[in-house]
């Protein structure tokens, strides 16, 4: 079997000159083979930049487009192809967006392999530990109390027993933050997990420690990115002295960045995004690193049903892959791009057993939202 073509598809709901919200654009890939098998992947990154990285013609040995690197190769040789891509696009970035592009292609290669062998990806990864995975839902605070109560009740109605809030200025005004957390705790009671996402908003370690002390009463499950990820010393102090579980890493890529993050920042939880960290292949190394450092891996995931399926297969085959983020986006790219989207059932996602990733794309939706440049 040989790869005959690689297609990078840029999808966007708003027009190019209109504002775009989280979840309203996407970059998906399709890898075509001479056997007729087709692999699907995606990366939650800058679609135009990723598309260019895939399509660009070669400049020289360490500056090659990813499509050219893959065409003619056997798609089943995933590890060798990952390293070939990493090496031959080295000058475009050994981290960041080049790894995002590799992540999408790696996921598509696993999809092909699963279909070829007639087994789900989680079987190729060593076998599933569970039939379903508990999910948590994220909500972005609204300006009004009634709106916030409605959002929280909507999450509980989905059966979720774990909730995260962040964004919309959360973390910038302590009295307002406390009032919001008080409201959420009133709605969810003491038994539902509650975590907060600061998106690196707190100023420095000592400022963050004051905030943590003030919010401790709300029994927080974790505090996500309280400081920017480069503030390793501040994060390590916070991990040691706040008494709260610090999480982060959704913007990091490769085992190398996660090793540094685990060693220098000492988070309790790391949150790689499978479509950015290097794909399914690299996520396996990152999971083992987390184990070696006594950290839990709870992936970031807020894009289409392709990302969701890849994350589900990975977590199903991970011994402690017990919690998944389930997007609350109303974007058609989440709700409808994958026509057999893995649904929430009583706050859990069922692990699929169809070959490969098992995703079916809605071709009409691709035609409707495809950006043609
Ligand atoms: Mg986050």
Across 233-255, average pLDDT: 97
The domain of 33 spans 3-119
211 pLDDT tier (thresholds 50, 70, 90): very high
Over the chain, what is the mean pLDDT? 97
Q: How far is ligand 1, taken at its centre, from the CA of residue 3, in Å?
A: 35
- Percent of the chain's residues with pLDDT above 90: 99
pLDDT at 179: 97
pLDDT at 66: 98
Spot the catalytic one: 88, 100, 116, 300: 300
**What's phi and psi for 113, nearest 5 deg?**
-60, -45
* Residue 272, domain CATH: 3.20.20.120
* Residue 74, domain CATH: 3.30.390.10
According to DSSP, the β-strands at 223-224 and 246-248 are: parallel
Out of 72, 95, 119, pick the residue that ends a domain: 119
Q: How far is ligand 1, taken at its centre, from the CA of residue 140, in Å?
A: 11
Across 42-70, average pLDDT: 97
pTM of the model: 0.98
100 labelled catalytic: no
Looking at the fold, whether 302 and 337 belong to one and the same domain comes out as yes
Separation CA 326–CA 139 (nearest Å): 11
Residue 373: inside a domain: no
Out of 119, 142, 160, pick the residue that ends a domain: 119
Out of 66, 99, 119, pick the residue that ends a domain: 119
Looking at the fold, whether 102 and 182 belong to one and the same domain comes out as no
Looking at the fold, whether 12 and 143 belong to one and the same domain comes out as no
Looking at the fold, whether 210 and 150 belong to one and the same domain comes out as yes
> Which has the closest alpha carbon to 93: 256, 306, 307?
256
Check whether 373 has a pLDDT greater than 90. Answer: no
Q: How far is ligand 1, taken at its centre, from the CA of residue 301, in Å?
A: 9
166 pLDDT tier (thresholds 50, 70, 90): very high
pLDDT at 89: 94
Looking at the fold, whether 354 and 225 belong to one and the same domain comes out as yes
Q: Are residues 349 and 308 in contact, defined by beta-carbon separation less than 8 angstroms?
A: yes
Looking at the fold, whether 10 and 144 belong to one and the same domain comes out as no
95 pLDDT tier (thresholds 50, 70, 90): very high
The structural domain count of the chain equals 2
Check whether 22 has a pLDDT greater than 90. Answer: no
**What's phi and psi for 289, nearest 5 deg?**
-60, -45
Per-residue pLDDT of 279-320, as tens digits, reads 999 999 999 999 999 999 999 999 999 999 999 999 999 999
Per-residue pLDDT of 254-284, as tens digits, reads 999 999 999 999 999 999 999 999 999 999 9
pLDDT at 41: 99
Looking at the fold, whether 240 and 352 belong to one and the same domain comes out as yes
Per-residue pLDDT of 53-63, as tens digits, reads 999 999 999 99
Looking at the fold, whether 63 and 136 belong to one and the same domain comes out as no
**What are the angstrom distances between the C-alpha of 209 and each of 40, 231, 271?**
44, 14, 22
Q: How far is ligand 1, taken at its centre, from the CA of residue 199, in Å?
A: 6
Per-residue pLDDT of 115-148, as tens digits, reads 999 999 999 999 999 999 999 999 999 999 999 9
Half-sphere exposure of 66 (CA within 13 A, CB side): 30
Q: How far is ligand 1, taken at its centre, from the CA of residue 81, in Å?
A: 30
């Amino acid at each position: 079997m040989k790869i005959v073509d690689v297609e990078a598809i840029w999808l966007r709901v708003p027009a190019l000159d209109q504002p775009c919200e989280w979840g309203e654009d996407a970059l998906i890939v399709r890898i075509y083979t001479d056997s007729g098998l087709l692999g699907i992947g995606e990366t939650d990154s800058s679609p135009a930049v990723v598309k260019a990285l895939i399509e660009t013609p070669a400049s020289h040995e360490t500056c090659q487009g990813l499509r050219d690197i893959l065409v003619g190769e056997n798609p089943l040789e995933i590890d060798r192809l990952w390293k070939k891509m990493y090496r031959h696009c080295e000058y475009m970035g050994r981290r960041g967006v080049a790894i995002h592009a590799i992540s999408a292609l790696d996921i598509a290669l696993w999809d092909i392999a699963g279909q070829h062998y007639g087994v789900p990806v989680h079987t190729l990864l060593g076998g599933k530990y569970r039939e379903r995975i508990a999910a948590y839902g994220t909500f972005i605070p609204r300006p009004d109390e009634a709106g916030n109560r409605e959002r929280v009740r909507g999450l509980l109605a989905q059966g979720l027993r774990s909730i995260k809030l962040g964004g919309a200025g959360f973390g910038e005004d302590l009295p307002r933050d406390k009032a919001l957390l008080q409201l959420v705790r009133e709605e969810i009671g003491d038994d539902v997990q509650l975590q907060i996402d600061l998106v690196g908003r707190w100023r420095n370690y000592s400022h963050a420690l004051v905030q943590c002390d003030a919010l401790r009463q709300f029994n927080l499950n974790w505090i996500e990115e309280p400081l920017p990820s480069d503030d390793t010393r501040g994060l390590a102090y916070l991990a040691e002295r706040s008494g709260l579980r610090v999480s982060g890493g959704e913007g990091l890529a490769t085992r190398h960045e996660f090793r540094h993050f685990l060693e220098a920042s000492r988070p309790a939880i790391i949150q790689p995004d499978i479509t950015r960290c290097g794909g399914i292949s690299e996520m396996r190394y990152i999971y083992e690193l987390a184990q070696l450092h006594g950290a839990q891996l709870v992936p970031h995931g807020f894009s289409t049903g392709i990302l969701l399926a890849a994350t589900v297969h990975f977590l199903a085959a991970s011994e402690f892959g017990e919690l998944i983020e389930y997007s609350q986006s109303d974007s058609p790219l989440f709700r409808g791009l994958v026509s057999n989207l893995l649904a929430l059932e009583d706050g859990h996602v069922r692990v699929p057993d169809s070959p490969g990733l098992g995703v079916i794309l809605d071709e009409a939706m691709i035609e409707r939202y495809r950006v043609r440049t």
